[in-house]
Amino acid sequence: MMIVTEAQQSRRLPRRQRNEPMEEEEPQEEEEQQHIPPHNTLDMIQMQEAIGRLSQQYMRIQERQEEYHSQYMKHQQEQEEWQLKIMNQQREFESKFFVMQEEHAFQSHESFGKLAQMQAENMRAFKEFTTLQDARYEVQADYNINSQIKLNYIGEHLHNMDPTFPTFDEFFKGKSEIEVSKAMRLEDRVEETMNRVGF
């Protein structure tokens, strides 16, 4: 049997007092351990937060892509409208140009036709004129011949009717040069007229 003296007990008391605070600190450590989440739980929260951030970032990227796609489609539509407008303007210009060419060709053809018609009419009028002139000249020549025959008859018989009148030979001798000159001038005028119109 072990006997414990008072001195030994007095030495043991402080050791117990030193151990008592340690016993009191254990509940505090347990409470702190209860407030600190486990390591696995902390990883899940961080992963969820990271997933949330990535999801938001992905949504923003999607929105930007949709915005860029919308702008691209709008730009494509504007470019197609501009190209269509240019093509329509080009077709309109070509159509107007072809119409102008056709009108110009038609007007030129019409002008040439009118010119040819005028030339034909002028030629026909000239032929009619020359025909009339020839007929007139022939009529005039016949008239002159008939007149000359009448004058010859009167001239030949007038002296017999009245001896004071000269004979035809005497009268013709004085007037022949004048009549020949008139006839020559008439022939010259006819020839000049025919040369002027191209004959």
The token duo for 117 is 């018609």
| pLDDT for the residue numbered 69 | 86
Q: Which of 181, 183, 173, 174 is nearest to 147 (CA)?
A: 183
| pLDDT for the residue numbered 45 | 83
Please give the C-alpha separations between residue 49 and each of 43, 44, 45, in angstroms, as whole numbers. 10, 9, 6
What average pLDDT does range 46-52 have in this prediction?
84
Mean pLDDT (the chain) is 75
Cα(186)–Cα(179) distance, integer angstroms: 11
The tens digit of pLDDT for each residue in 103-155 reads 888 788 788 788 888 888 888 888 887 887 777 777 777 777 777 777 777 76
Tell me which residue has tokens 């006997």.
3
> Which alpha helices (DSSP H) does the chain contain, by range?
6-35, 39-161, 168-196
Cα(184)–Cα(199) distance, integer angstroms: 19
What average pLDDT does range 62-80 have in this prediction?
88
- DSSP per-residue letters across 167-198: PHHHHHHHHHHHHHHHHHHHHHHHHHHHHHTT
Instruction: Using the predicted structure, report yes or no on whether residue 35 has a pLDDT greater than 70.
Output: no
pLDDT band for position 42 (cuts 50, 70, 90): low
Instruction: Using the predicted structure, report yes or no on whether residue 2 has a pLDDT greater than 80.
Output: no
Look up the pTM and report it: 0.31
Give every CB contact of residue 155 below 8 A, 6+ residues apart in sequence.
167, 168, 171, 172
**Residue 165 near residue 159 (C-beta atoms within 8 A):** yes
